[in-house]
Structure 1
């Protein structure tokens, strides 16, 4: 895959990286103008609609989107479309269900991180610590997938050895995240999201044209194997019940992603949230079908490649001039870097604020907070790099494991915490532990197909709900003083909202 054009491609990728560091430099200077913790973790709550929408997209669209998804489509054909189709409605679940309410609570309570929301709602340091530990464990798995994806891109297009690619991605992302904080992550995410969309549009256009059009692509797939154009795909990859469970998994698991939920702590007002939701919905409905089209087209153009995860990059290097190829290769690089920076920010925040500050040093602030946050960012980076040096075979499988695990762990505790006054700390702990434990047990014993062929997330999602409700009813109701903060008079009238006193985000 390495070609004579690789030097030019590498130079263009280098230029792209320089632009991201420029954003980090500018935002780092902004961080010096206000309270460090609020600026670093939520950007001073001054994020507008374009940046909010694009940073949400860039965080969601990880290396699995540009490397793992085309790799699965290369291997298993059009049936994977049923797996990915759930992404078409993630905006409805994310922005529609959680967005405004999280923003309201964040402003009223001063929450800066995802564990802040749960710890303060239930007056429980234990919930804060447990949430932070779960975030560290599961986002480390996510980061391994991103380091792997980034290294494979550089290995494929410029011939850089895998382990040096892992280290290069890790160092570059850690530097700009540590220096610029959330504002740097959000600004670079916005730039990266634009690069991603333009990149995938150009890739799909040139790849389909080179393959002779959709009809010829389907004919070639059928000639190779009819299973590539019909369900459940080669090797019974995606039976209908499994496909349906993935459609459930994709939108609902977004409700438990701390890196996405914490975005709703940052926007300026409700108008910004609504505009961001519209922008994000249009973006997703355009991007994901095109990525899937590239995946199946690569099977026709390059029937033999070293790894399915090289499908997109190999197609780009084969079909396009070096200058344009370098720009398009920046699309997966963008997806990887944007997700990594968000995961690092959330994970470092979980350790520094939710474990250390809230339990060891409540007076942490200023330069000491800044130093500790930077140190933890690089410590987490080193752990992720060490784990990524032994990469998984299929990138998307580890992405799904980490994403589904987070959703199973946090979705219901988050939803019920902000909408159900009867929810209490016992219910929250039971939901977190029950969701995570049941998911890990299923995944380790049965893999990605659990009882009745359903993905483990579905059962864990339902079990987490049952644990939340049972735990809440078995333990005493939370004090009215706390409930008044979150629900106003709703907390004293059987859950029916009457003249709620919590502040709307204006």
Structure 2
């Protein structure tokens, strides 16, 4: 059996398994509540693995190790920020958000929660939130599809555009059929597969580089001491601005709808505590070993230097190249290589499916049912959700069309927009009783607008502000959004008694559920 055939078999079994889960989930999905939240019945392991798998995406196994491979340990500050952000999200945000969404009209989406939290009868928050989600999640979904395209292109030599189509088609099929339950069930298995691959490959690679690692690095054109130092970023000492900007990635967690929705869907408080422990262990292990992949790959793959050697793949393919070298050249078990490469595909699919679902829920539930057609039947909303899922996938497909697009850049832009728009409002909605509707609107608009201006308008000598200053737009947008929420809430009318009473009810419910 040839290497290519073995890898194809592994891919085929994996992809058919994901579609099979979609068919099973289709039978369990009876209405819109099941499609969007799985009936609030997620168990602890499924909720934890699904949240983390949908969070990390192809960025974890392609974007991050590629950056570390190219520039060294200084790029690990992003991982530190994300690790701290994940821990804070599970320990501080998860329980209150689950409780408040139940008290606030059993809200099924983040925009619906905002509307119910502030008794927004004109549905201003619903509209603004939904538009923000669609804009930034299109970019986010495109990053995941681009990861899949690059994977198939690197492994099989397929044309990037054909590879892009194949990956998008499978994700669309099972998300279209089974909705949230299919997404979470597939994410559970994908999260396990990702973790096994992340742990196994660097451990085996270390056996091949071992004590020669330092000397082998020197042969690749880098200064080993600087390359392995947290105080250097590439060829220069890392600056305070770079460290703060990288750490600021962690602020995005409390504003990510595709992660927060898992908190809303967990079965009980008891399951939530188990989920928190599982998720925190998963993310610490995954981030730590992913950094090791980037560092070890630099020495292990030499004399090929990815992204520099003529004809070599980009640095973002370092994990794929390591898997192939370990399990095809060093330890010839191509079937294992195929399964581990499926781990990268799992990372891609686990995020893309969640992003498709969040987009479809925003359009069908928040815009169509809650704004345009409040009398729409449950079946009609479900049909609109499935049609939207298809439409979003098509648009994201064309955004990802350029094979030279950077996964890291696409994820960075989307993460900043969602984190700056929603993060501060989620925090203030849960913990500040005085927050009101005008303040919420001001926070959403100012956060999203700041990121768009910072990252996309070339207003500083032909450069964007982000490129000119090196400051991550999420940090600036988060602070500005928080400022506007507080100031506007304080200078406008206080929330009425019904809103305050609901806030007090949520606090009592949260304490009772502990």
TM-score w.r.t. length of structure 1: 0.92
Q: How does 1:324-339 map to 2 (within 5 A)?
A: 324-339=336-351
Whether contact under 8 Å (1:141, 1:398) holds in the other structure is yes
- 1:396-434: per-residue Cα shift (whole Å, max 9, x none)? 122122112211111111111122121111111111111
Confirm whether residue 69 of structure 1 aligns to residue 81 of structure 2.
no
Q: Confirm whether residue 298 of structure 1 aligns to residue 313 of structure 2.
A: no
1:169 maps to 167
Q: Is the 8 A contact 2:7 2:334 kept in 1?
A: yes
1:57-100 C-alpha deviation (Å, 9 max, x unpaired): 11111111111111111211222122222222233221112111
- Contact 2:154/2:313, CA 8 A, preserved across alignment: no
Q: How does 1:58-457 map to 2 (within 5 A)?
A: 58-108=53-103, 109-124=105-120, 125-210=123-208, 212-213=209-210, 215-223=211-219, 224-226=221-223, 227-230=226-229, 231-236=231-236, 238-247=238-247, 249-302=248-301, 303=305, 304=309, 305-320=312-327, 321-444=333-456, 445=458, 449=466, 453-457=470-474
Q: Residues 322, 501 of structure 1: CA spacing in aligned structure 2 closer, same or farther, 3 A cutoff?
A: closer
Name the Cα RMSD after superposition: 2.0
Separation (CA, whole Å) in 2 of partners of 1:311 and 1:54: 24
Does the 8 A contact of 1:144 with 1:387 survive in 2? yes
Show the counterpart of 2:330. Answer: none
User: The residue matched to 2:493 in structure 1 has which SS?
Assistant: coil
Instruction: Tell me if structure 2 keeps the 8 A contact 1:41–1:182.
Output: yes
1:205 alignment partner, SS class? helix
SS where residue 426 of structure 2 aligns? helix
Q: Deviations over 1:342-373 (max 9, x none)?
A: 00000000000111101111122233222211
Structure 1 501/315 Cα, relative in aligned 2: closer, same or farther at 3 Å? closer
Give the aligned partner of residue 501 of structure 2: 484
Provide structure 1 residue ranges, at least 5 long, that are not aligned to the other structure.
491-496
Pair 1:48-2:48 in alignment:
no
d(CA) in 2 for partners of 1:291, 1:443: 27
C-alpha contact 1:485 1:502 (8 A) present in aligned 2:
no
Which ranges of structure 2 fall in alignment gaps of 5 or more residues? 328-332
| Post-superposition offset of 1:173 | 0.7
SS of match in other structure, 2:232: coil
Q: Following TM superposition, by how much is the alpha carbon of 1:452 offset from its aligned partner in structure 2, in angstroms?
A: 6.3
CA-CA distance at 1:281 after TM superposition: 0.8
Distance 1:316 1:16, change over 3 A: same
TM normalised by structure 2 equals 0.91
Q: In 1, Cα distance between the equivalents of 2:382 and 2:251?
A: 34
- Determine the C-alpha separation between the residues in 2 that align with 1:156 and 1:505: 49
Distance 1:346 1:165, change over 3 A: same
Alpha-carbon distance between aligned partners in 1 of 2:454 and 2:77, rounded to the nearest angstrom: 22
Count residues with an aligned counterpart: 489
- How much has 1:22 moved relative to structure 2? 1.7
